[in-house]
Amino acid sequence: MKNGNDTIMLTGRIDTSNAAEWEKTIFTHLDNGEAPVFDACGLEYISSAGLRVLMKVIKRSRGGVKVINVSPEVYDIFDVTGFAELMTVEKRMREISVEGCEVIGKGFCGTVYRIDPETIVKVYTEPDSLPMIKNEQQLAKRAFVKGVPTAISYDIVRVGDCYGSVFELLNAKSFNDHLINEPDRFDELLKEYVDFLKTIHSAEMDAGSIPMARDKFLGYLDFIACDGDHISPENIARLKDMLTALPDDLHMVHGDYQMKNVMIVGDEPMLIDMDTVSTGQPLFDLQALYVTYILFGEDEPDNLKNFLGIPNEWGKRIWQSIMSNYFDTADEQKLAEIQEKISLAAYVRFLYLIVSTDLKNCELGEKRIRRTKANIAEHIKKVDDLMI
């Protein structure tokens, strides 16, 4: 009955005809007080007689009883009878294939595929990504209840050896798609895109409900400092002082607001890819956009074409439009002062992205590290604080 991982396998039907025998077998395998894990992948049905046996197991176990790979039919039995509240019950995940599906987005954590006109799935790269998926679901729900239009996953699936998170997005296209297909609407689309960013930044979250962007950046600096001599100890200290001087701010920050992560559903924009959500100043979203549209292309001229499918020369134009629309000014001096601060923060995050991933293990990565280190040393001389 136990597999190699000490999980108790449940199969077939458990009812009055075999409940007593099942009880005897289970308690033969259980140590006194052990908190068992049952794998119900082969369980077709469980009656009240079987549930009474489970109740005995729950009362005897010191820890929580866990039942995994439960079919929807059996889950309904656990739910209706209240057993889903007495023990941990995890539904069996359906399996899907993304072979031949359109890729509509790709990032560090995974790839987003369109399964059909109504449905997309985000497939996570890491095989142990379940906690990350569930965390993203919670972040999306917390943003949604605060009035931020966002897609919320309604299912978790298996895609080969990986996990995927499924969303319903009826005939949705990203701002990136619209920009490629309707370049004559460039200015109109960028204004709508930036206006939605302002809407996101106006949403105020509950204290402690999601991480603070400032704390994430302090963590980046700690990692960079431990990784080598990329930034001098004096400049690490200066950067930390500037970050900690920022006032507490509970307004929402998406964290990766590039145009593939903002869909248009009907006439309304909607966010996807919510695993980077935090709270803080607008600086923390704007620096991420500077990384996407400027920094990645500094040493890789075809980056925008390869990553987003847009002409490389659009990067600067997009960034300039973001700045002028967000700050609603054409004052070049004012924008230049703001950009110094955004650039400094962007170079810090970019350096972290490179040194904390496999991106550093190539000639391009080494080149990016050298350039970024030099830029941080230069920009920090011109910046006294990070308020914008």
* Band (31; pLDDT cuts 50, 70, 90): low
Tokens coding 363:
């000639």
**Rounded CA separation 121/104 (Å):** 10
Can 8-91 and 102-168 be said to share one CATH topology? no
Query: What does the domain layout of the chain look like in residue ranges?
Result: 8-91, 102-168, 173-382
Give per-residue pLDDT as tens, 2-20: 544 468 899 999 999 999 9
Give the single-character DSSP code of 266. T
Q: Which of 316, 8, 274, 234 is nearest to 144 (CA)?
A: 274
* pLDDT value, residue 32: 61
User: Of 19-33, 204-218, 285-299, 331-345, where does mean pLDDT reach its minimum?
Assistant: 19-33
- Specify the CATH class of 8-91 in words: alpha beta
Question: Which pLDDT score is estimated for 6?
Answer: 66
Residue position matching structure tokens 């990070």: 386
Q: Which CATH superfamily is domain 173-382 in?
A: Aminoglycoside phosphotransferase (APH), C-terminal lobe (3.90.1200.10)
Q: pTM score > 0.75 for this model?
A: yes
Question: In CATH, what number does 102-168 get?
Answer: 3.30.200.20
Q: What is the pLDDT of residue 4?
A: 43
Find out whether 119 and 171 touch, Cβ atoms under 8 Å.
no
At 64, the pLDDT band (50, 70, 90 cuts) reads confident
What pLDDT is stored for residue 245 in this prediction?
A: 97
The set of residues, in sequence order, having a beta carbon less than 8 Å from that of 270 and lying 6+ positions away, is 149, 150, 151, 169, 172, 262, 263, 264
Report the relative pairing of strands 102-106 and 278-279 from DSSP bridges.
unpaired
CB 111 within 8 A of CB 126: no
**Digit-coded pLDDT (tens) for 144-165:** 999 999 988 888 899 988 999 9
pLDDT at residue 330 is higher than 90: no
- Which alpha helices (DSSP H) does the chain contain, by range? 19-29, 48-60, 72-81, 83-86, 130-144, 175-181, 186-202, 213-227, 233-244, 283-293, 303-307, 314-327, 332-355, 363-379
